[in-house]
Structure formats: structure tokens, C-alpha cells
Amino acid sequence: MLEPYFNKITAAGYHQIEKEIEDWKAKRPTLIKHLAEASALGDRSENAEYTSAKRDLRHLESRLHFLTKQLQYSKIVTPTDNQIVEIGKYVSIEFVDDHDQVTYQIVGKQEADIKTNKVSLDSPLGSALMGMTLGDVVTVQAPNASYQVKVLDVKL
């Protein structure tokens, strides 16, 4: 029998999803009330308010279902205090070709957000960095090209 697959996630990412679920659940009574009010207006076939309220409630339920499944199939990974790149750690790298330096946090794919320098462990950069240590130079196989980065620092 196959073992279930769990998506790795940081504790912060897990709690962020939990908070989003709470926020959506808090909106549910208001949306149900809007649907009831719109339903009371009469003929549903030409009732734009009813259609809109129904769509909003369906969106909420769909999002809640999606987020709940994400939590159900996620496993919180706690990084160890060493110099090895793993999920949850901050990694400072230097691009070998132009010497640009940047620090990324390696996170689960649910948490990835390049705007806040959170890179998924499943991304080309994240997967290339996993398991590397201080001073390592690694080749990243991106979809359109490959490039090299050097690990400058690894922190919790």
C-alpha cells in the first residue's frame, strides 16, 4: 500500500493557512445572511443579488475546502540548527555571473512568494539549494537557461 504524500511546510506557513481558514469562516454568516435576504426578494431566475450572493458563498466554501485539504496533506518541517540548506532556513546566495547577492527563505510550495523572497523547495532554485552548505556552488537548471549560485550564508 502506498504511503500518503505530505507537502512540506514551515510552521509559520501552516499557521498562516489556519488563520485564513478562520477568516473565511468568520465571513460565512454574513454571506449566508446576504443569500437569505436576496432569496426573499422573489424570482430567483432574474435576481442578480441572489446569483451574486450564491456565487460568493460557493467561492467561500470552495476556498475553505481547498485550504482544509492543504492542511490535511501538509507536514510541518522544523529546520535543524546547522549550516545545511533546508526548508525554513534563510539562504544568502551570490549569482556567479553578475555577483548579485540576495537572501531567500526556503519554504513549502504553498508559501512561495517571490515578492517577499520566499522560494519553494520545489522550484529550480530551491531544489538546487536543498542540502547545500556554506561555500557550495550549485548549477540551477531553470526552464530557459542554467546559472550558478554560491551559498554565502545559511541561517534559521
> Is the residue at 20 inside a domain?
yes
- State the pLDDT confidence band at 6, using cuts at 50, 70 and 90: confident
> Is the residue at 151 inside a domain?
yes
pTM, full prediction: 0.81
Q: How many domains does the chain have?
A: 2
Domain extent for 143: 90-155
pLDDT in tens, 82-119: 999 999 999 999 999 999 999 999 999 989 999 999 99
Let me know whether 16 and 55 are in one domain.
Answer: yes
Report the percent of the chain where pLDDT is more than 70: 97
> Is the residue at 24 inside a domain?
yes
- pLDDT at residue 5 in the model: 78
pLDDT in tens, 33-51: 999 988 887 777 777 888 8
Cα separation, 145 vs 120, in Å, equals 19
